[in-house]
Every structure is written in C-alpha cells, then in structure tokens.
Amino acid sequence: MTETRPTVRLRPKAEARAIRHGFPWIYADELVTDRRTRALAPGSLARLEDAERQPLGLVTVNPNSKIIARMLDPDPEAEIGADWLAARLSQALALRERLYEAQYYRLVHAEADGLPGVVIDRFGDAAVIQPNAAWAETHLDALVAALVAVTGVSTVVKNGTGRARGLEGLAEETVVVRGALAGPVPVPMNGATYMADLLGGQKTGLFYDQRPNHAFVQGLARGARVLDVFSHVGGFALAALAGGAERALAVDASAPALALAGQGAAAMGAENRFATRQGDAFDTMTALATEGACFDLVICDPPAFAPSKQALEAGLRAYERVARLAAGLVAPGGFLCLCSCSHAVDLARFRAASARGIGKAGRRSQIVFTGFAGPDHPVLPHLAESGYLKALVFRLTA
C-alpha cells in the first residue's frame, strides 16, 4: 500500500522545523501545488518532504482546503488502519479514565489527541463523532469500528455539521451509524443532570469544555439569584442550582434547548427554582434591565463571535456589548462570568473587551477567576487554536 503513496513537498520558504517539532498543519501557500498534488482526492494520504526532499512524515491532503495537509504520523510509512486508529483511541481513553470515573467526557480532541479534525464526545454507552476533516470522512467506517472495539460503546452518532466541515468541502449529515437512540441522554456533571440531544442538539449535544468553569461558578451560587444567558441546555444554570442557588433563569434563542434544560432541572428536583426565557440574548438583557431585574450572579456563554481572523474586530465589539449589558444586571458585590469560545480571540483581547464593556456600564470590577476548557480538552502546545475557551469571573465592586 505505501509503495503507491504520492509525495508532496514543502516550498523552500516553508517552516519545516515547526513541523518537525510538532506543528500539525501545512497551509496551501506552504506546499508545492503542482498538477499532481491538485488532482489528489480530498483525504488522500501522502508522504511529506521538505524542500530538500527529506522526509517529514505521513500527511492527509485536501487540495480544496486552506489547511492543505495535516500531519498524521511522523513515520511516512505508517499504515492508517484498524491498529493505528485503535492505538490513538486507546491513548486518548487512558487519559480520560484517569480524569473521570463516569464515562461522560470528550474522548478525542482533534489534533491534541493525534486525530486531526476529529472530535469524539462520549455519553456513557453512546458516542458522537464529528469527522471535520476529509481523511476522517474517508476512514469513518474504520474509525467507528475502532471506537466500538476500544471503548465498548454500543451507539455511535456521526455529527457531520459545522463550519469546519464546510471549510473542508464536506457535506452536512447527522445520522446514527451504530446502535440506536431512544431520545435525549441524561448526563451527570458537577452534581447536575443535563439532557443531551445527540441527534438534534448543537454540536455533539452538550458542551463538556465548561465543566471546571461550571464548578467554580457553582461555588458562588449558594443562595444566589442566577441569570444564565446563552444557556443552551442549562449549562451554568443547572450547575448553579446543584450548588444551592435560590433560583436560576436560563435565556436562550432555542426553544428545544430550553425544553431540555427544563427536563434537566426536573430530573434534579429543582424545577421549582428554575425558569426559562426564550429570545435573542441582547434583546432579553435589555428588556430585563428595563424591568429592573437584578441578579447576584450573571453568566454569559455566547457562541463564537469571532470564528476567524476576519471576524475579529466585530467579535470583540460583540463581547464588549455582552459585558456592558450583563454588567447592568448584576447586584452590587455580585459576580459576572463572561466566556469566549472564539479561536481568533486570545485571552488578552477578550479580557480587554470584557473590561471595556463593564466600564461602559458604569461598573467597577476585579477578576477573581480565569478559566479554560477541562483536561479532557487537552491543548497541543504547538497549536494555539486547540486552547480556544476562555472564562473570566468578575466581582463587581461598584
């Protein structure tokens, strides 16, 4: 098989040293894109060489993507089959089993777990795969078989949606590829119960990345009036209720997500302390301020306002606006948690935008906590994009 693999080569000015040290991506302007390279089918495997024809490893190539090649293995002769996939999955599983007793976590975090463009979230006996790179789509059957063999899950969902697949030229599709689902899956986390819709929900159905930030906010929630904006299926609100919040209001644009949040609250026996409000987050916060609403703890966890560098400035203005509107709803001495999952916004820019918004609301603050994604979302040191989540908790002193 390896004898027939094509070879692709870096341009002379491309940084081969970074790739040798672990950087996993080769951009389109770094690769010699002759007629043969452009003719490769998306997801093809190829040997990568530097400009001096020295081997760098085995890559997967997608001529239609700005990330034209992704490193799979430093061995250019590696066989990408059942054994190789099982080894990567076993390594990922070993970390999660050290971290968590219950089988609810992100099992594979793409490049950081050696499976570029692949996200796998586990929900007990079920798992959701997001094959966000062409090679993963091509090898999906083998990946599913290896996943079942390594973890013992009985149900596997392919979630083929999202911006990343569009950038790879892949079609959208969500389907059960192994086993069956009877409905939303209850997920225990931080003492709360979340209902995850693995087929119709956002992303894989639940956001595990906020687990440690839920836990910190939960510690502030006892006896508090809580507002959770961009709540999805109850993320911070249900964690706060599990922490003893007096009451919690969840705001989201999605009625199905709020319905799942209500089911989660009921499963916890906290439905009498929980309420929802459907609507645009900005409009709802403005309306709450007009109504004179006041909360001891406000959390805003919006979608990525800046998913790319081109959207950076607009995204920063949106984060500033969120901070300004939310700060006006916090009681004196209360807490405001602001989050960003935008790859293009680093911590310093996010912190500055948040502080500007709080200042424009006429409030003064101190940062008491800075959080990131949980350890089941490991960061590849060479790839800043793998550490995308930021959470800031401010105490509003005036």
- 341 classed as catalytic: yes
The dihedral of CA 70, 74, 77, 80: what is its sign? negative
Under a CB-based contact definition with an 8 Å cutoff, are residues 358 and 336 in contact? yes
Q: Where do runs of H (alpha helix) occur along the chain?
A: 16-20, 35-38, 82-99, 134-138, 140-151, 163-167, 211-220, 235-242, 255-267, 281-290, 312-327, 347-360
Catalytic choice (300, 337, 339, 341)? 341
Specify the 3-state DSSP secondary structure of 88.
helix
Distance CA 282, CA 305 (A): 13
Distance CA 176, CA 199 (A): 8
Specify the 3-state DSSP secondary structure of 276.
strand
**Which is nearest to 262 in space by CA: 190, 201, 193?**
193
Q: Which residue has the tokens 């424009």?
A: 360
Distance CA 338, CA 323 (A): 7
- What amino acid positions are annotated as catalytic residues? 341
